[in-house]
Structure formats: structure tokens, C-alpha cells
Structure 1
Amino acid sequence: NRDAHIAAAGITVSDIRESKYDFSRPYSESASTVIYRVRQGVPAPASVEDLIGKKVLILANSIQAEQLSRLKESFPELAWEATDELTNTDILDKVFNEEVDYAIVDSTVYESQSSFYPGLSDAFVIGRTRPIAWVLTHNQDGSIKKSVDKFLGLESTKVLITELKAKYFSKENPLNFFDTVTFKSDLETRLPALEPYFKEAAIRYDFDWKFLAAIAYQESHWRADAVSPTGVKGIMMLTQAAAKEVGVEDRTDPVESIFGGAQYLINVKAKIPERIKDPDHTWFALAGYNIGFGHLEDARILTQRANKDPDKWENVKEFLPLLSKQRYYQTVKYGYARGQEPVQYVENIQKYMDLLEWEKQIQEIREAREEAMRAIQDAENQSAPNGIILLDNMPDTL
């Protein structure tokens, strides 16, 4: 409609789309992937024939719709449902909840969300891999395409895209199937009573409340009565010494534990050099708390010896596991340590943060959708005599 010049939204190039729009040079690629729920004794679909007679869900007006329409010429019995009311995540939800048999989505969509859906897997690809590019409005001199292509061709842009892919589309879940499913259950049953205290502590100590909640889940699975074999207790699993340091009298009191844990984290972060900026500063603090700051410093020395930046967590976490190997730990001050444990500890907290952020976003979207539907229903019930619906109280979220 010529209301915009560029659409940069992970859009796959297709023959039909190329007949309507200009496209930039590709910056990535994707393929239509069949997604299914893994179930014991039920084989994964292996071909288009396996989709016949099954409930298959796709987005309307998508590349998948184009591909299935062409496939139907060879497989007349092939059928599917195309929706313009659901998002890709809603579609994955339906497969996860076994409301449909299969979904077909872009591989990049599944890759970015797969760790949030334990039990889902990709089966096979439909059609060929397609380029992903920016959609451009037609202009006579082609200046927009030239400028965009120049930008996407810059070495700095290519590096940026590689970094973004690593951050958002290559997530490996350090949690196993049971961990993730248990987290989703605990999110509904245990977190609601604790969430107000996490939020209050986050405001007082200037943290993201989801970060505090993720640490607490890693420590105790949000159990106020949790006790370890070494005697640490409570939601934040404080030692007696740590509890005394932050003034916690009853480690099993969830409010005391949460606020005490947040204060203790402030104290721990103070041990990391100020020149190291967040989020690296925080990851170092958590790793040092887990393994001991002497061992953390040893790992940073190993990192520096390898000519990598010892102030970057992504670098140091490569060298922490080497502290369990004699050829390395005998060359540093504090010696042997189980260096993989702090790496796993930090990665678990990061993943719990991701899961919590994800679930909260989905919850907010669903609540907004329900609010909008209620507002529409109320508006219809208050229709003016001439049939005009009164929309004064429609929520902004609509």
C-alpha cells in the first residue's frame, strides 16, 4: 500500500512474492519444517504421505500455504487448516498440547523457540531451502534496493547478523525434558505466591525480578522448606554465614530468604571489578559464588594466557572446565576445581530467565486477547439503536 519503504521481518522469498515485491539481497535462509510431538511408540512423520488424514496447522498467506497448495496437485487427499488468528507460537502450543498432529513453520521460527517446547521435534523439510530478505517498495531508480544491499553486504553487518543468529536462533537448552516440564508446572503452582516478593526485592535492590526468581528456582525450585546435605536452606538456599551477613534470622521464611538473597547477591557482585560491565559482571558474580572467587580468577588467568578477554563471560566459561585437568590446574594458584559446575549453574539460571520471560509474555498476550474479546462483547451488548457499536472503552492492547 506504499505506507512503508522496507519490511524487515524475517520474510521468506517465494516466486509469488517476487512477482509482487522487490527484495534485498538475502541475509539468511529458512525451510518449511514439519513439527510434531514426540510420543512413545508413535513414529515421526517421514514424508508428505504421513500428513494425509492428520490435523495439520499452518499460518494463512504463508510460504507454507503456497507450498501445500502445489503439493495438493500430487497428493489430492492432503488437507490442512490455515489460520490468520494465531501466531507461530500459538501453533506450536497446539502441537505441544496435542490439539493438532503437526504444524509446518519456518525452520528459523522453530529453531528460536524449540527450547521452550520440550517434547516437540522437527521431522522433515517440505520444499527447498529459501532465502530470507527484506521486502522493498518499488521505486523507479532502484536507490532503495541499492542502499539496502550495500548495508547488508557490509562486513560489519555480516558480523552483526552472525551474532544475532547465535544469540536468538541457536539456543541449546541446558535443561533436560524433565527440568523444563517441571519448571512450567512450578510456574503455575509455586511462583504466584512468591512473585510479589521477588518484584518488591527487585525494586529495592535494582534487579530484574525474573533474574531473582531464576536464581531462586535454580537453588530451591521455589521451595521454602528446601534443605541441602550441607545445611543450606530456604528459597535462596543461604548458608548460615550468608544469612548472618545479611541479617536473615529464619532462612525458611520465604520473604526473609528472598530479600536476604538479593542483598547477598549485591555483596557478591561487589567482589567483581567495577570495570567489568553487565551482564558479564553478574555472570562472574554467580560463577564466583558457585565455585569460589579464587578459582574464578584462575580461569580468568587461563583465558588471558590464551589471548582472550578475561573480562568477558563468553570467553572465561570456555576455560573454567579446564580447572579439572591437571595440565591446567597445576599452573594456577588455587588448583583443582570442578569448573564445569559454575558454567552449568549460570547457563541454567539464564535458561530459567528465558523460560520465565517467555511464559510471562505468552500469559500477557493471552490476557490482552481475552480482555479485547470481552471489550468487543461488551461493546456489542451496548450497541446504539442505529447499529453502531460504541468503542469508547476498548482497551489499548487491542
Structure 2
Amino acid sequence: MAALSFELAGVDSNSKARAGVITTDHGVIQTPIFMPVGTVGSVKAVTQQQLYSEINAQIILGNTYHLYLRPGVDVLEAAGGLHHFNGWHRPILTDSGGYQVFSLAENRKITEQGVLFQSHIDGSRHLFTPESVMDIQRSIGADIIMAFDECPPYPSEYTYARKSMELTHRWLDRCFARLAETPDKYGYTQNLFPIIQGSTFPDLRRASSEYIASCNATGNAIGGLSVGEPEEMMYEYTALCCDILPADKPRYLMGVGTPWNILEGISLGVDMFDCVMPTRNGRNGMLFTTQGVVNIRNKKWATDFSVIDPSLDCETSRYYTKAYLRHLFVANEILALQIASIHNLAFYLWLVKEARLRILAGDFDSWKKNIIPVLKQRL
């Protein structure tokens, strides 16, 4: 089978926004794209059928750390990989678990070899190395797999950020070497994306971007820019990285973010995004709509019998009313979580699809500037 390929279909004349096509062995992805997060092989409160038919997700995420702990690589291998295990037969990307090791695991110890950590589930001890993380992702079988990296917190001291970046680069070399030693398990090609680090220091970001670009991977990721830094700083370093990364490879900004973050990222040259925000915020009653942000728990919606968002090509968004959804939240009905999650994901997929159409039409930049104030409105 063939390695991942990327072709540009158009570039905005007034920004660095691109429309492209990523081809994998499990299907085609039109960029820019948002990828719903299915941490343990499941996008929370959403079925695979809904991801196909209502949300029209082109690719979803899984997470190495969580899938390694549950259900475990033995189960995933017996199933024939995550695609067969969860019934999702379009592309899958797996994060390496590096961020989770540093944010969830307890009593972790970082060495040149890897990270010794304690499971957040049962306290058991585990060692993640670049080699073991590649092996786990081989067993999961995602189309795109991420390098094992260290994600420094914000803010970080310069010395720590530099040592962390250099360690990430050495680990990356070991990731590539391990993949070269081990064949794909399931008869299709897995593609490794390296990750830029360097915290919020321009020289480190530049050095890391140059190193990652030199690896000539099939795609590249920008990490460490959704960890609490101000938005303008995130945009500054995203731009810096995009200007160095090769134009003929997809660029993935990890863990970002709000609808306006995504549009600004697209304008800087990013092609791929993921974030738990649409489903997490949805489960807490925050809806993103084409007219602005809705806190559906507010009493003002109690007698609003208009549908959630008639502008979306999503049956759920155009069927249920705001009043009914508010009632479900107030009554603590599980259906509320499902409706809100489906709607928010459908909105995010609408947003990147519309951005793509605007790039191809040549008016993305003006559309972005007009729509962001609308999307930020609190209704």
C-alpha cells in the first residue's frame, strides 16, 4: 500500500490558507480538516454511525496512552487493529500519549531512555520509550502515528525548554529507526508525523522546525501551543513554524481549539486540527453555532422553540429545539449530552468545510474577518 500523500488544491491570495487533499490507505481527507477526538476509540456520546452520516467526519483520533491501558494491545491485535475494533473504517490518527504521560500519569520519571510513570487508573507502573510507543501504535494500526515527545508546560524556563526539545529530537530519531525495523501489522501504510517543540522561545521554535523539516516525513505537527499561552503568542509561533515547514506536506496544529483559533490557524497555513472542546463544552451545555455561542442552560432558552442551528446540514441541529435541549440538560437526561456533542462536531466540520470553499473561491481572508466576530458573540 502507498504512503500518505498530500496535494494542494488552492491557496488564498490574501493569507497563507491552503486547501488540500490528503490520501491514506483508509480514504481521502479534504483539508483544512478538524478531527474529532476519540481518546479510547470512541468519540464521547457519539456513535460511529453518527460520525459517518450526520457529522461526516473524515478522520478521528485515538490516544496511545489510553488505548495501551484499556483495552490493551492484545485485544487490539486480536481484533485486527483499532479500525476493526471500533468499526471506524476511515482514517485514524493516534497521538503518542506523550502529553497524557506528562499531564495524567503520576510519579513520572523522565530519562534518556523514556518515561517511567504510574497509571492514573490503577497505579501500576509502566515505561514508555520511543520504541515501545512505536510498537503500541503499530498494534493500534492508525494511518497517522505521532512521534513520542515531551511537551513542556507553559511557562517554562529556557534551559528546561531547550533540553526538552533536544530530548524530543533524539527520541524522534529513535522513533524513525524503530519503524524502519518493524513492518506494518495490518497490510496498510502507517505514517509518522514528528512534532515541533520549543515552548515559547523563538530560537528554539525555529531550531525545532528546521530539524523536523529536515526529517522529510509525510506530514508534520506543531506541538506545545495549547498549554495555556495567550492566543496571540500561539498565533505568533504557529506562523513561525509554518513558514519553515515544507509547503508540500500537511501541517497539524495539535490540540487547537476554539472556532476562531482554527480559522486563524488556517490563515497561517495549518491544515489539520483536533481538540476536545466541541464535545467537552457540549456536554457542559455550551453550543457553538453559526450565529454565536449559546449557553443552553440559560433560562432565556426555556421557551425558544427555534431549532439549534438551521444553517447546518445536520439532522440533529435542524430537528431539536433550543427549548427541548435546555429541558434535557436541566433534567440531567443523557440525550442532552449526545445532541450537544453531535451538534458541536457538525458545526466544527461545517466551519472547516466552509473555510475550504472560501479558499478555493478566493475570498477566505475577508470571510474570516467578517465571521469571527459573529462566532464569538454570546447569545
RCO (CA 8 Å, sep 6+): is it higher in 1 or 2? 2
Which TM class, normalised by the smaller chain length? Answer: under 0.3
Larger Rg over CA atoms: 1
**Normalising by the residue count of structure 1, what TM-score does the alignment of the two structures yield?**
0.21
Structure (1/2) with the larger strand percentage:
2
Structure that is richer in helix per residue: 1
